[in-house]
Amino acid sequence: MNPMKRKQMEDRLHELEREIAQTEAAIAQCETQLQNFVSADETQRVGQELSKSKGNLQRLMKEWEELSGILETTA
């Protein structure tokens, strides 16, 4: 594999790891907020945000797994 391409992939992998950590923190925050009822509207808003964050986490994890696998097989 081209060393420049490998470096770009490694950089993206590190970026994904940061995004995954941020998304996991956002999910934890939403789950904490849902434990304290404020209003039906707020609960619905936080629930939607939680759902969106979980979907985003799945997408990020899939990309991370694919990229990690590529880098492992070309090591």
- Residue-wise pLDDT for 24-43, tens only, equals 999 999 999 999 999 999 99
Flag whether pLDDT at 23 surpasses 80: yes
pLDDT of residue 28: 98
| Core vs surface per residue 31-67: b (16+ CB within 10 A) or e | eebeeeeeeeeeeeebeebbeebeebbeebeeebeee
pTM (predicted TM-score): 0.90
Instruction: Using alpha carbons only, give the angle 54, 19, 49 rounded to the nearest 5 degrees.
Output: 30
Average pLDDT, the chain: 96
Flag whether pLDDT at 46 surpasses 90: yes
Flag whether pLDDT at 75 surpasses 80: no
